[in-house]
A and B are shown apart, each in its own frame.
Chain A
Amino acid sequence: MPRNDALQGTLDLLVLKTLAQLDAMHGFGIALHIQQVTSGALRVEEGSLYPALRRIEHEGWIASEWKTSENNRRAKYYRLTAAGRKQLAREEQSWAQVVKGVGALLRYA
């Protein structure tokens, strides 16, 4: 099984989900997307994003290729692989459990 540290796991989930929603996107786009969709509540440290992307790519969950962007700039685009989709499903499920658990705890008070 892949490692499941809270911080890494969360960033993985955000990246995978973003790519599921955006099809193919470069790192900057992914960071921007997460920030905008969460209305700025979650701001991805750009410094941790790229190492995470490398790692996720090596897990085989995403693939990358260099393409030209909308405004004619060369950028490395990432997209989800089939394995990535399965991993996303797993992580969504485990996240849901965490949320459920934390929710239960919060309601208890």
Chain B
Amino acid sequence: MRASLQRARSFAARLVGALHSRRIDEDIDAELQSHLEMRAELLVARGSSHDDALNEAKRMFGNRTYLKEEARGQELLPRVESLAQDLRYGLRLLRRNPGFTVIVVLMLGLGMGLNAAMFSVFHQVLLAPLQLPHGDRLYMVSSHARSVGDARRAMSGPEFRDFRDQNTVFTGVAAVIPTFAESWTGDGEPRTVNCTSPTQDFFNVLGVRPLMGRTFSAAEYANLRNTSLILSYKFWKTQLGGDPHVIGRVINLGGDPSTIIGVLPLMPDLYSDADIWVTLSTEPSWDFMNWRANKFLDVVARLKPGVTPQVAEQQLTTILRRADGEPTDVQAQLTPVRDFVVGPIKRQLDIMMMAVALVLLVTLLNTAAMLLAHSIKRAPELAVRLGLGASRARIRRQLLVEGVLLSGAGGTLGIVLAEIVVAAIRHYSAASLPRMDGLALSGPAIAVSLGVVALSAVIFALLPGTLLQLDLAAAFRGARTQTGRAQRPFGGLIVAEIACAVVLTVGAGLLVRSFLRIQSVPLGYQPERTVSAYLRTNYDSTDGYPFWENVLGAAASVPGATAAAISDCVPSARAASAIVRFADRPNVPGREPSTEGCWISADYFKALGVPLIRGRYFSDHDDAAAPPVVIINAEAARRLFAGENAIGRRIAVSYLSLGSRSTAEPRMREIVGVVSDLRQRAVDLPPGPAVYMPYGQDETYHVLNSMNLYIRGTGADPVALGRSAREKIQALYPNQPVERIRGMREVIATSIARRTYAALAMTGFAVLALLLCGLGIYGVVSYVMQQRTREFGIRMALGAQRSDVLIDVLRRGGVLVGTGLVLGAGLSLLVTGELSQLLFETGATDPTVYLGTALVLAATGMLACLLPALRASRLDPRSALGLQ
């Protein structure tokens, strides 16, 4: 009771003091002045001269300004003035310890910068609302069936029409051909552009209004030969210079003059790669839209208010199962548009976010450890200030100000760094990440970073404050704690830091090991000397044959070329799907084996270096007039013919893609060759069964539209070969685009780019964490060594050997590192399961990686202990004891 009364009174007095601070200043001045005069008077009485006496009095008194501030500190509530003083003092202190300051600010800046940048990406891609009105009611419709492998299946034209005509759950539904290429000629260099083709209602379903002009009319949707088109915002800006009078302009698309009728706003969420939008007609419709097995359409629908996705799925499943030839267990599946767009990347982003958060955690732990060591070094100084009458609150405030200064500087640096990192991400990975248009350092990211800054400032300030309270007595005794008592809070920090670093290193190890495995995977072909290029043409009839023969002739005649071929497939990147039916056994509709399928020219396998196992390659004689033939790979021979000789057997191949313009029963083909397996679809997918057919025998002629050219050479620079080929081809066909000229090694690198990024980024984070860890351990051990100098001196004076001291330090360090390792390994086991999607032929508990991590961390930790320990063991015991 009395205590609180006293507190209240003292508070009131300070309040009054605060209100009258100038009077108080004068009061203190007067009192100190009177003191000095009295002292001087006494000295004069003892025989000093007046001036000497005054100087002596001042000398005896000491630093008046400082004392005045200290005395006044008793009067004032924390005020701007004293805050400025704390700031000045803090700045002076940080300037006096430039190494410490720079390291802490750099660490904080790096940690926070990475975090803010990564969180911006994370926010932009995964969290930011779709830029479509009521985007949460938009769903993508697909199907899956356990009996045929359960993979996500796109929809066919008839399925879309059934949905559109029979559903009662959508306010609107539209189908889209997600992307196909067309040539754009007549405006400079011939190029190919990405087209996206939606059915009527698409723009209404999405709620997208054109920026300029209009969208397609019903009449345009109903015209198979419609030539009007709409531009994407990006294409309009980058290719047509944002021309304000672009509506009505005619450009040559796929050889036909087409009129621009509208420009869309930026659409970062769906089909952001589209350059040009053209109509997809359903009534009347293309043949390829009428074949139920030809599943290549995206279907996007807007759910009616009050209808749940489950109810809609049930109804659509019923609709799907009414059709003939579908697996009986087929299920419709609704995927929110957001998941559809970000699904493939979500796990990877989650992991990156976790990794960066761990890096930040390591940073903060490390900073806390360094600040702790730093402020304990200052304990004697703080104790003196305490003794002079500074309150604990005042000292804590001083520490808080220093913490805020450090973390503020770190945070500022962090935001600058984050801007740079975000710009780099925007620049380098805009293509590999969805929804990246308009990526910027986001408000929430800055807010989170500032929150972390504030929090860390408080922690930094309070941690040493708390410790100081514990250790104040020791500080009074004389600056050197004799025992390991002060080490305890460090132990926890170091262990936590190591545990985090272990998790990051294990993650990086797993990704790098996967990456190395993928690099050494047998591809089944020889990519080194082969170049690929892409040609989009306007041929969809027999006219295409002479064209492609000329292209192949031109390519083969390039000096240094040994083989030239074309195919619709890109090895390690893309292959179409096909369904196989047999001539000599019953075929169950909906259960036919599915394979990879490619249309190729005669020298495809020679150009890629794929060995023939049995039979023969195609020749130029396998053309439209010749008997239909097919080559299969070893995997297909094994799966479809159980290892029996497949040569001479007959199969029919139904091509599942945009290319299937025919609903006619496909022809039976004789198998004439078996080639060894190559990784056709992706480097990280094992080769599946595959069938290859001569492009001259595509009775739909559709493949003539779009082909990849492969040229094998003798030289080391296949890309030069590609460029020469382009010159030769364009000499014959000046309007023919020849694009994406890339060595096959580059094609492979692109196909695994996401894994490469993940492995690189994670390795970067792990190295950073390791560095921080090493730095932290080094700093803390150095500090503890300094604290124990006297103890070591005594022990060595009493006969301990240098090696004893060394062993003692390493033993203590070893315990910390060991504990951190065990803890980190346990944590890793818990979380690396999340990585499994990104791993390749590497278990999430791969012992090599765990062992390697343990070795790397143990080495880092012990090295960081060893350096200060060596210094300690070289102590001269006498000087350590202060005897010299």
Chain A residues near B (Cβ < 8 Å): 1-2, 5-8, 26-29, 32, 45-48, 50-52, 54-55, 57-60, 66, 69, 71, 73-76, 83
Closest CB in chain B relative to A94 CB, distance in Å: 16
Q: Which of A7, A28, A69, A71 neighbours the largest number of chain B CB atoms within 10 Å of its CB?
A: A28
Question: Is A47's CB under 8 angstroms from B388's CB?
Answer: yes
Give the residues from 152 to 193 in chain B that come closer than 8 angstroms, CB to CB, to chain A. Answer: none
Closest CB in chain B relative to A70 CB, distance in Å: 11
Which chain A residue lies CB-closest to B62?
A47
A55: contacting residue among B32, B38, B62, B74, CB under 8 A: B74
Known A74-B30, A75-B38; 12 more pairs at CB < 8 Å = A5-B387, A6-B476, A28-B38, A47-B61, A47-B62, A51-B71, A54-B389, A58-B10, A71-B41, A74-B34, A75-B31, A83-B6
| Chain A residues, CB < 8 A from B390 | 51
Question: Is B389's CB under 8 angstroms from A55's CB?
Answer: yes
B38: contacting residue among A1, A57, A73, CB under 8 A: A73
Please count the residue pairs between chain A and chain B whose beta carbons lie under 8 angstroms apart in the complex. Answer: 84
Nearest 8 A/B pairs, CB to CB: A51-B389, A54-B74, A28-B38, A47-B62, A58-B10, A75-B34, A51-B71, A28-B35
Question: Is B67's CB under 8 angstroms from A47's CB?
Answer: yes
B771 at the interface (CB under 8 A from A): no
Chain B residues near A (Cβ < 8 Å): 3, 6, 9-10, 13-14, 27-28, 30-32, 34-35, 37-39, 41-42, 60-63, 67, 70-71, 73-75, 386-390, 476
Please measure, in the bound complex, the distance between the C-alpha atom of A83 and the C-alpha atom of B2, giving whole angstroms. 10
Which chain B residue lies CB-closest to A31?
B35
Please measure, in the bound complex, the distance between the C-alpha atom of A73 and the C-alpha atom of B30, giving whole angstroms. 11
| Chain B residues, CB < 8 A from A2 | 3, 6
| Chain A residues, CB < 8 A from B30 | 66, 74, 76
Question: Is A50's CB under 8 angstroms from B67's CB?
Answer: yes
Please measure, in the bound complex, the distance between the C-alpha atom of A51 and the C-alpha atom of B30, giving whole angstroms. 14
Question: Is B386's CB under 8 angstroms from A46's CB?
Answer: no
Question: Is B34's CB under 8 angstroms from A48's CB?
Answer: no
Question: Is B10's CB under 8 angstroms from A59's CB?
Answer: yes
Closest CB in chain B relative to A22 CB, distance in Å: 15
Contacts A54-B389, A58-B13, A60-B9; A26 near B34 (Cβ below 8 A) = yes
A51: contacting residue among B13, B74, B476, CB under 8 A: B74
Question: Is B63's CB under 8 angstroms from A47's CB?
Answer: yes
Please measure, in the bound complex, the distance between the C-alpha atom of A8 and the C-alpha atom of B390, giving whole angstroms. 11
Which chain A residue lies CB-closest to B17?
A58
Question: Is A58's CB under 8 angstroms from B14's CB?
Answer: yes
Question: Is B71's CB under 8 angstroms from A54's CB?
Answer: yes
Contacts A54-B389, A59-B6; A76 near B41 (Cβ below 8 A) = no
Question: Is B61's CB under 8 angstroms from A46's CB?
Answer: yes
Please measure, in the bound complex, the distance between the C-alpha atom of A52 and the C-alpha atom of B62, giving whole angstroms. 16
| Chain A residues, CB < 8 A from B476 | 6-7
Please measure, in the bound complex, the distance between the C-alpha atom of A57 and the C-alpha atom of B13, giving whole angstroms. 9
Which chain A residue lies CB-closest to B36?
A28
Please measure, in the bound complex, the distance between the C-alpha atom of A32 and the C-alpha atom of B60, giving whole angstroms. 13
Question: Is B386's CB under 8 angstroms from A5's CB?
Answer: yes
Q: Which of B9, B39, B388 neighbours the largest number of chain A CB atoms within 10 Å of its CB?
A: B388
A-B contacts, 27 of them at CB < 8 A, read A5-B387, A26-B38, A27-B31, A28-B38, A28-B39, A46-B60, A46-B62, A48-B389, A50-B28, A50-B35, A51-B71, A51-B388, A51-B390, A52-B389, A54-B75, A55-B74, A55-B389, A58-B14, A60-B9, A71-B41, A73-B34, A74-B30, A75-B31, A75-B34, A75-B38, A76-B31, A83-B6
Closest CB in chain A relative to B517 CB, distance in Å: 65
| Chain B residues, CB < 8 A from A59 | 6, 10
Question: Is B9's CB under 8 angstroms from A8's CB?
Answer: no
Question: Is A60's CB under 8 angstroms from B10's CB?
Answer: yes
Please measure, in the bound complex, the distance between the C-alpha atom of A15 and the C-alpha atom of B386, giving whole angstroms. 18
| Chain B residues, CB < 8 A from A76 | 27, 30-31, 34
Please measure, in the bound complex, the distance between the C-alpha atom of A7 and the C-alpha atom of B38, giving whole angstroms. 26
Closest CB in chain A relative to B131 CB, distance in Å: 61
Please measure, in the bound complex, the distance between the C-alpha atom of A60 and the C-alpha atom of B71, giving whole angstroms. 16
Which chain A residue lies CB-closest to B389?
A51
Question: Is A27's CB under 8 angstroms from B386's CB?
Answer: no
Please measure, in the bound complex, the distance between the C-alpha atom of A55 and the C-alpha atom of B388, giving whole angstroms. 11
| Chain B residues, CB < 8 A from A58 | 9-10, 13-14, 74-75
Which chain A residue lies CB-closest to B390?
A51
Please measure, in the bound complex, the distance between the C-alpha atom of A69 and the C-alpha atom of B714, giving whole angstroms. 110
Which chain A residue lies CB-closest to B38?
A28
